[in-house]
Structures are given as structure tokens and as C-alpha cells.
Structure 1
Amino acid sequence: MAQALTLNVQSREKAGKGSARAARREGLVPAVVYGAKKAPVTVTIKRNELVAILNRGGFLSHQFELVLDGKKERVLPRDIQLHPVTDVPLHVDFLRLSKGSKVTVEVPVHFLNESKCPGLKRGGVLNVVRHEIELSVPASDIPESIEIDLSGLDVNDSVKISTVTLPAGCEPTITDRDFTIATIAAPSALRSEEGGASADDEEGSSED
């Protein structure tokens, strides 16, 4: 499970566009913390610290310990607004995580044992349909990633959600179908050979 990162924030007494613009001029990013049946709190984050965290990836699926006036609060980012041209962060929404609650997150998929995959050894190509899976998970135990073992897959095999062992308490939000996560696609040379063989078989059968 993902470890919570510590993020220091400062109180922002005034809300509104004017206050937000003033904070951004000072190198700060406005944010709001809400949820857990508590009143929303407006805060600011140092822009350089937030950018460094964003560059690690997986921001919206990672838990944070917000430190405000010496007190810690476990949160999950739910939305981030970026400048449309520069991608500089403009605003962040954080959801407080209460014990026993569940949240919906996009969890990245990691593939293991590609070197041991028969299909890839034969020249097949790993075709990733979903790089992330949307899951309903316990707020206290958000998976950092979902690992999928490729060691037993051959050409034309596929990985469906029903074949993936998810961490305890985690469920896919898509429940009406057994969706595909990845496939081992046949190389073009193999497809050509199979196509040629099929044509020969059909031609031979017509002569009988």
C-alpha cells in the first residue's frame, strides 16, 4: 500500500479570487480541504514543493499527511487545476480521509515478468488497453499499483479484470462487464503466416 507523503500547508484566512491571485504572486498554490463532516478549510502550499511532488506521478491516487499549525490530517487529492499553457498548478482540492470510508481512485497497472512471457518471447507485443484501473478502495489502504504477472501468457492471450487478484477491500467500479486490461498481440509476421496457412487450407479443401 502507498505510504502517505508529508505536505506542509499554511492557513489562508480569506477565500475568493483576489486572495487566490495574491497567494499565487507569492509563489503559493491555493487549496481547500473538505469532507469527514467538517467545515472546509482554505490553505496554501509552496508551489515548488507541490511541483516536485507532481513530477513523481500518481498525485491523485496518493495519500498525504497535511501538516497545518503542527497538526496532521490524512487527505487524498481529488482535483488539481493546472494553467492551460504552462501546466503550473493553480488550485488543489483535498478530501479528508475518515476511518472506514471508501474512495474511488485510478490505480496504475504494473506488468511483471515480461522476460518470462512466452508470447513476448515469440515476438508478440504487449498491448496495454488500460494503464490505470478505477477502483473503489478503503481510504486507509489505497494501493500504490496493481501488479499483473505476464509469465504464463502466450500470443493472443488477454488479461481481464476477473483474472486479476485485487488487494483486500478493493473493487472495480465497472461491474457490468469483464473488461480487458491488456493483450499479447501477435507480431505481423506471425499474422501473415497464419493468414497464408488459412488460405492454403481453404484452397486445398476446394480441390477435394
Structure 2
Amino acid sequence: MVQTIRIEAAARERAGKGAARATRRGGSVPAVIYGAKQEATLLSLDPRDVMKELHKGGWQSHLYEVAVAGGATERCLMRDVQFHPVSDQPIHVDFQRLAAGQKIRVRVPVVLLGEDVSPGIKAGGVPNLVRRDLEVLSDPDNVPERFELDVSAAEIGDTLRWSNVRDHGGTSPTIARDFVVLTIAPPVVVEEVVIQAPAATPADAKGKGGKGAAPAKKK
């Protein structure tokens, strides 16, 4: 089941670039919660809380309970984070509010099983993970933490698709076909190139004291 994480936030009264800059000057990260046919909620976040979530990885698949000081707690997905072009610090966060019964679009990471016994990998094949995470529609309360793909029987040249994923967890893919997730590519052969020295020519022989070479000076 998907992880639910609580984040403390403060309310912001004003929208606009000037207000956002003022929030950042005060040491906070401006944020907004939108969606579910409600008015947007303006927030400010502690940058340490934002960085903590970003460092975890998989933040786009986590559910967040954003607790606004003096207000309600909103159930959201973190949809987008904007970064400063120089410092690479977060400068704005977008949350999507969840409505009751609404399916959500999330990305779930793929984990490989059986790499140590795969005959294709043992023979030198290279697992090429075409999609490291899969975008699916899911019930908010049942988002899988990961999708497992078993490669224990995979040979060189095999292709594994969405239908090969062990358990879809009640999700449905956003791509309407049995798309490729992984291939076992043949090993890369590196040819050794041997550079041979060119054969000596008559001109080379003359230059080395052969016929036609200049006579040695008498002492």
C-alpha cells in the first residue's frame, strides 16, 4: 500500500510572483494545492521538509496529508517541484488535491527479480530496462510501492512486457497496449584492433646506410 506522509504548512494570503519572492526571502518555499473543483490553497513550506521528500525518491507516488496551521488537512499528491536554476534549491511546489473516489495517475518504480539465475544474463546478456517506472491509474489507497518483474527465465533476446509484471495491484496502465518494459540485449563485443608498423621500403633502407647511402666521413 502507498505510503502516506504528513507535511506541516503555513497559509499564504497573497498570490503572485511578488508574494512568492517574499515567501522565499522569509526562508520558506511557496506552494499551492489545486484540484477537486475547489479554490486553490496557497501555502508555504519548510524547505527542509521538501528536500527530505525529494531525497527519498518516488515522491510522485506518495500520498501527502498537508496540515495547514489553523486550517484543514488536505489529502494530496506532490505533482511538480520547481528548482532555482543556479542553486538547484526548490522554489515552488504544486500539490494536487484528491477528490473522493478519484483515481490518480502515478509512477511506480520497477524492480527486477531473479537476475542472479537468469540464463540470458548469465550468458552475458544485458538487462535493458526500457521503463524504470510505469505510469498507471490507481486507487489512492492502494498504490503499489513497486512493480516486480521476474527475469529468472529470461534468455538473450527476450522481451518482457506489462503483461509479465507479477501483480498489477488493481492498477491500469495509461498506455493502451501491452508495452515493452525490459529486453535482454546480447553482450557487447569489443573488437581488438592491432596496428602493425608499415613495411620498410627501399628508400628507408638507403636512409639506414644501405645501397646509395652517403659515404662515412674519414677521420
What TM-score results when the alignment is normalised by the length of structure 2?
A: 0.80
Q: Structure 2: how far apart are the matches of 1:58 and 1:72?
A: 22
Unaligned runs of 5+ in 1: 193-208
The whole-number CA distance in structure 2 between the counterparts of 1:35 and 1:95 is: 6
Q: Which residue of 2 aligns with 1:123?
A: 124
- In the other structure, the counterpart of 2:168 is 167
> Residue 166 and residue 84 in structure 1: after superposition, are their counterparts in 2 closer, same or farther (change >3 A)?
farther
Given residue 81 of structure 1, which amino acid in structure 2 is its aligned partner? Q
Residue by residue over 1:36-65, the C-alpha shift from the partner in whole angstroms, topping out at 9 and shown as x without a partner, is 232211001001221121111122221111
The residue matched to 2:56 in structure 1 has which SS? coil
Q: Map 1:18-37 to 2 at 5 A.
A: 18-37=18-37
Once residues 3 and 29 of structure 1 are traced to their aligned partners in structure 2, the CA distance between those partners, rounded to angstroms, is: 23
Matches within 5 A, 1:107-146: 107-146=108-147
1:14 aligned residue: 14
Q: CA deviation at 1:166?
A: 4.1
Give the letter aligned to residue 22 of structure 2: A
* AA in 2 matched with 1:8: E
Deviations 1:64-121 (A, max 9, x none): 1111126432210122211223221111111112231112122211112211212111
The letter for the 2-side match of 1:109 is V
| Code of the aligned partner of 1:158 | T
Matches within 5 A, 1:1-208: 1-69=1-69, 71-175=72-176, 177-188=177-188
Per-residue deviation, residues 107-151 of structure 1 (Å, max 9, x unmatched) = 211112211212111221111111111111112222222111111
Q: 139-148 vs 43-52, which deviates more?
A: 139-148
Please say which of residues 82-91 and 46-55 is displaced more in the overlay. Answer: 82-91
1:86 and 1:181 map into 2 onto residues whose CA distance is 35
Range moving further from structure 2, 157-166 or 113-122: 157-166
Which residue identity lines up with residue 64 of structure 1 in the other structure? Y
Paired residue secondary structure (1:98): coil
Aligned AA for 2:9? V
Letter in 2 for 1:103: I
The whole-number CA distance in structure 2 between the counterparts of 1:2 and 1:116 is: 30
User: Closer, same or farther in 2 for the Cα pair 1:169/1:99, shift >3 Å?
Assistant: farther
Judge conservation of contact 2:2–2:141 (CA < 8 Å) in 1.
no
Cα drift, residue 11 of structure 1: 0.6
Q: How large is the RMSD of aligned CA atoms in angstroms?
A: 1.9
Q: Structure 2: how far apart are the matches of 1:159 and 1:114? A: 14
Give the distance between the partners of 1:14 and 1:124, measured in 2 at CA: 57
Asked if 2 retains the 8 angstrom alpha-carbon contact of 1:100 and 1:140, the reply is no
Distance 1:78 1:27, change over 3 A: same
Equivalent pairs, count: 190
TM-score using structure 1 length: 0.84
Q: CA deviation at 1:7?
A: 0.8
Structure with larger Rg:
2
Structure 1 28/179 Cα, relative in aligned 2: closer, same or farther at 3 Å?
same
State the identity %: 44
More helix per residue: 1
